Chains A and B, each alone.
Chain A
Amino acid sequence: MAEVEIKAENRVYAKPRLILDNTMHYCPGCSHGTVHKLVAEVIDELGLAERTIGISPVGCSVFAYNYIDIDWIEAAHGRALAVATAAKRLNPDRMVFTYQGDGDLSAIGTAESIHAAARGENVVAIYINNAIYGMTGGQMAPTTLLGMKTATTPYGRDPRLNGYPYKIAEMLAHLDGATYITRQSVHKPANVRKCKAAIKKAFQHAMDGEGFSLVEVVSTCNSGWKLSPVAANEWLEQHMLPYYPLGDIKDEKLDPTR
């Protein structure tokens, strides 16, 4: 049988246009790269490349501005949603989103996250939850699972000593201003496709002025977890997903009368 011809009309998948040629600094197999691609694809498909402002956090994804070809602002640690509030209020016609990890959004930045959601700011938070502080060397995060070994919990997280993990997505879903809250993952191709649909919905939600959206992506940190990339994806399915179940947590319209 003939070979497949390498030409444009046969191309079904390629590097998204908005992903720059810089080599990503992420460890091999890191979920960040996959989520960056989804964000770039969604922005391009919605025709928002010239009208999007991304707010990059402190954490592994601090250099997100080197990889996606849109306008970015770098926020102080945890303050991405506060900066996003200002950017969106001053430029209401722009798409404003933050890209934050669990150490940024749900640890040092918990107050900013809760109040941005409570105010119903028309921004999207892309929240990467890998249950560990990846950039600083794999210390325990608030999202670390019970029994999970990290650099600061070498015998596993003990609730009597280290407290319990928490689910900020469910917490934010209680707030009237937060209208679209979903939890996705990117450990399998089918999940990647669902995650892209969720990010697209959240971006449309924000552009329609429907309130605050959060897309949590349950992710791997294979270096921090001390596993190979493939084993980390399996560990995520076995241990992370039972505690952080996937799916939409809240999908509503903003109700100013409430």
Chain B
Amino acid sequence: MAKIKGTVVVDSERCKGCGVCVASCPCDVLALSSEVNGKGYPVVRMTHPDACTGCASCGVICPDSCITVYRQKFE
């Protein structure tokens, strides 16, 4: 059966760790990590990458345009 999978790439230095993407993800893929960027913000990471469907909700709502979303169909 065909399955659609997605993944996100976060520009860690742009991320301000607001967590709006984490709250917007319908599949609980994202979480704020304990790792911080150059400005001291906790950056967002994929903690359940297998659950990502590439719906782009995180990218659409991100105020700082730091999320790029990729989606691929596997037969």
Using a CB–CB cutoff of 8 Å, the interface residues on chain A facing chain B are 1-7, 10-16, 19, 23-24, 26-34, 37, 186, 188-189, 192-193, 228-230, 233
Contact = CB atoms under 8 A, between A and B. Distances in A.
Nearest to B71: A12
A202 B50 CA distance: 39
A4 B59 contact: no
Tell me the interface secondary structure of chain A in the complex: loop
A12 B56 contact: yes
Contacts of B74: 1-2
B5 A33 contact: no
A4 B54 contact: yes
B27 interface: no
Contacts of A11: 68-70
A19 B65 contact: yes
Most buried by A among B23, B24, B65, B72: B65
Tell me the interface secondary structure of chain B in the complex: mixed
Interface in B14-73: 14, 16-20, 22-24, 41, 50, 54, 56-57, 59-72
A1 B72 CA distance: 12
Given A1-B5, A15-B68, A188-B61, A229 B54 contact: no
Contact of A192 (B9, B61, B68, B70): B61
Contacts of A229: 18-20
A16 B59 CA distance: 11
Nearest to A15: B65
Contacts of A30: 63
Given A12-B71, A28-B16, A189-B60, 13 more contacts: A1-B74, A4-B70, A13-B60, A13-B67, A13-B68, A15-B68, A27-B16, A29-B63, A30-B63, A33-B62, A189-B57, A228-B19, A230-B22
Contacts of B68: 11, 13-15
A229 B44 CA distance: 14
A29 B19 contact: yes
B7 A37 contact: no
Nearest to B17: A28
